[in-house]
Amino acid sequence: MTHEPLTRDRVADARRIVVKVGSSSISGENVGQIAPLVDALASSHERGAEVVLVSSGAIATGMPYLRLDARPDDLATQQAAASVGQNILIYRYQESLRRFGIVAGQVLLTAGDLENDTHRLNAQRAMERLLGLRIMPIVNENDTVATHEIRFGDNDRLAAMVAELIGADLLVLLSDVDALYTRPPHLEGAEPIPHVAYGDELAGVEIGSIGRAGVGTGGAETKVSAARIAAASGTGVLVTATSLVADALTGARVGTWFEPAAR
């Protein structure tokens, strides 16, 4: 892969891309966002890029089938909802990808998998083979077997670790908010931050949580933390809204760009 770190004006040329989407963006009333998300991913895939999707949403997708109105608190019910939801989620993605003749490959990981050298190497080998075969890996945390002690905590961190694992040029972190702001965007005086230089501590920025309550587990804080992990490994990071993914992948000036370290 490219050894020169990606710059913002070359986003549309990224060769290996990881896109992360949150639960609230593709479940419940927003399930209709799967098709336009897939349109954008397929467009990058068709120009020759290698694309990995890290998708939350197994528990949220499974909840209606277990007749649950809110995310369950106990681990066993979360695992049951994830088991049902993961199956349906992958089916929805594959049905949408079928329009482009793209096959999805499901990859389920726990935090322990990426901390154990043997498991990490196996995961890396599998991902490289899938990409070599032009199959689109769809990655999620393995909620059915993960315990509270070994969870990633949110899929932003998982996406950053996947980007590092495969040496991605670009990581796109999608949510319900179009950019990182100087303070929670619903507060007066909040201003979007277009660019974060590598090593910038974001002094004076009030980082709050974002996302639809009761569904997702991530927020602005996890986005910034994940962006720093990926940027440190040489991956450029763009934080924006799911509705702007097509613009993001074609190089439009949307969202917040985290400049990567030199590799």
By the 10 Å C-beta count (0-12 exposed, 13-18 middle, 19+ buried), 34 is classed as buried
Q: 56 with 140: CB under 8 angstroms? A: yes
Known binding residue 9? Answer is no
Known binding residue 233? Answer is no
Known binding residue 113? Answer is no
Residue with tokens 């891309």: 17
d(CA 106, CA 139): 6
Known binding residue 155? Answer is yes
Beta-strand (E) ranges in 92-183? 104-109, 136-141, 170-175
Known binding residue 223? Answer is no
d(CA 248, CA 250): 6
Contacts of residue 114, Cβ cutoff 8 Å, sequence gap at least 6: 120, 123, 161, 165
Region of residue 260 (phi > 0: left; psi between -120 and 50: alpha; otherwise: beta)? beta
DSSP label at residue 102: P
Contacts of residue 175, Cβ cutoff 8 Å, sequence gap at least 6: 22, 24, 25, 210, 211, 216, 218, 223, 239, 241, 242
Known binding residue 176? Answer is yes
Backbone angles phi, psi at 80, to 5 degrees: -65, -45
- Per the annotation, where are the binding residues for ATP? 20, 175-176
- Per the annotation, where are the binding residues for substrate? 56, 143, 155
- Per the annotation, where are the binding residues? 20, 56, 143, 155, 175-176
